Chains A and B, each alone.
Chain A
Amino acid sequence: MTEPQTQNGNALVQVESLKKYFPIRKGVLSREVARVHAVDDVTLSVAEGETLGLVGESGCGKSTLGRCIVRLLEPTAGDIVFDGQRIGELGARKLRPLRREMQMIFQDPYASLNPRKRVGTIISDPMRIHGIGDRKERKERVEDLLRVVGLSPEHYNRFPHEFSGGQRQRIGVARALALRPKLIVADEPVSALDVSIQAQMVNLLEELQDEFRLTYLFIAHDLGVVRHVSDRIAVMYLGKLVELSPAEELYSRPIMPYTEALLSAVPVPDPDLAEKRERIVLEGDVPSPINPPSGCRFHPRCRYATEICSQVEPPLVDYGNGHLAACHHPLNVDKETLARVQASPAHTPEAADASALPQEPGKERANPLGPAG
Chain B
Amino acid sequence: MPERLLEVKDLKVRFATEDGVVRAVDGVDFELDRGKVLGIVGESGSGKSVTAMTLLGLTRDKNTRFEGEVDYKGNNLLEMPESRLREVRGAQIAMIFQDPMTSLNPVYTVGDQIIEAIVTHEDIGKSAARSRAVELLREVGIPNANARVDDYPHQFSGGMRQRAMIAMALSCNPDILIADEPTTALDVTIQAQILELLDRLRADFDSAVILITHDLGVVAEVADEIVVMYAGRIVERGSKRNVFYDPQHPYTWGLLGSIPRLDRPKPKKLHSIEGTPPSLINLPQGCKFRPRCPHAFEKCFEEPELRNRVEDSGHLDRCWLSVEDKRGLRDSTIAGEARVPA
Identify the A interface with B (CB < 8 A): 57-58, 164-167, 194-200, 202-203, 206, 221-225, 227-228, 248, 251, 261-271, 273-275, 279, 281-285
Contact A228 B270 (CB under 8 A): yes
Contact A195 B216 (CB under 8 A): yes
Contact A164 B256 (CB under 8 A): no
Contact A194 B214 (CB under 8 A): yes
Contacts A195-B255, A274-B221, A282-B189 given: A266-B270 contact, CB under 8 Å? no
Q: B218, B254, B259, B262: which contacts A263 (Cβ < 8 A)?
A: B262
* Pairs A–B under 8 Å by Cβ, sample size 19: A58-B158, A167-B276, A195-B214, A197-B43, A199-B258, A199-B271, A200-B272, A202-B270, A224-B260, A224-B261, A227-B262, A263-B262, A267-B188, A267-B221, A268-B261, A268-B262, A270-B244, A271-B220, A271-B240
Contacts A203-B272, A270-B220, A270-B263 given: A265-B241 contact, CB under 8 Å? no
What 6 pairs between A and B have smallest CB-CB spacing? A267-B217, A199-B272, A199-B258, A224-B260, A199-B270, A265-B192
Contact A195 B259 (CB under 8 A): yes
Total count of chain B residues near the partner, CB < 8 A: 46
Q: How far is the CB of B141 from chain A (nearest CB, A)?
A: 9
Number of CB contacts from chain A to chain B under 8 A: 130
Most A-side CB within 10 Å, residue of B45, B143, B158, B260:
B260
Q: How far is the CB of B60 from chain A (nearest CB, A)?
A: 26
* A274–B254 alpha-carbon span in the complex (Å): 20
- Report whether over half of chain A's contact residues are helix, strand or loop; otherwise say mixed: helix
Q: Is B120 an interface residue (CB 8 A)?
A: no
Q: Is B193 an interface residue (CB 8 A)?
A: yes
When distances are taken between beta carbons in the complex, the residues of chain A under 8 Å from B263 are 268, 270, 273
Q: How far is the CB of A253 from chain B (nearest CB, A)?
A: 13
Contact A267 B269 (CB under 8 A): no
* A69–B292 alpha-carbon span in the complex (Å): 40
Contacts A227-B262, A271-B220 given: A166-B158 contact, CB under 8 Å? no
Contact B188 A265 (CB under 8 A): yes
Contacts A166-B276, A203-B269 given: A198-B258 contact, CB under 8 Å? yes
Contacts A202-B270, A285-B159, A285-B160 given: A221-B276 contact, CB under 8 Å? no
* A267–B220 alpha-carbon span in the complex (Å): 8
Contact B259 A224 (CB under 8 A): yes
Contacts A265-B191, A265-B192 given: A271-B158 contact, CB under 8 Å? no
Q: How far is the CB of A197 from chain B (nearest CB, A)?
A: 7
When distances are taken between beta carbons in the complex, the residues of chain A under 8 Å from B274 are 200
